[in-house]
Amino acid sequence: MIKIDLSVREALSMVSNGCDLGMYEKIVTALEVALGVNQRRIVTITGGMSTDNRIPCIKAIRLHTGWGLKESKEWTDSLVGGWKYDKWVPAPANTKQSITLKNPEAAENLLRELTTLGCEGFLS
């Protein structure tokens, strides 16, 4: 491993001069860690969750967030739909839902598991 020290000014200069995407991400992550900011902990699901994969998605959300069954189910219901009295009501089209996790690793793990289950989403 090579350790390179850069000032914030030098890092921003590299980014603005068009470095490759991998280097850009490394610089941004290093600055976020140094400043103690966001660090890509928000998982946003934009699609792919359905009644077919809903239960495994609920289990994944419970595992990675520490939420209970009710909270996890309500979160997935906002993407899929749910029962209202005795009738199934689907979620509105193009619904998105986000979760903020404790650290970037937990967010990456949740997104990886949900995409494996067929969901579509991104980190921010």
Distances (CA, A) of 3 to 6, 21, 30: 10, 19, 12
Three-state DSSP at 98 gives strand
Handedness of CA 26, 34, 36, 103 (dihedral sign): positive
pLDDT classification of 38: cutoffs 50, 70, 90: low
Give the tens place of pLDDT for each residue, 79-92. Answer: 998 888 889 888 88
Give the tens place of pLDDT for each residue, 95-123. Answer: 899 998 888 888 999 999 999 999 999 99
Q: pTM here?
A: 0.67
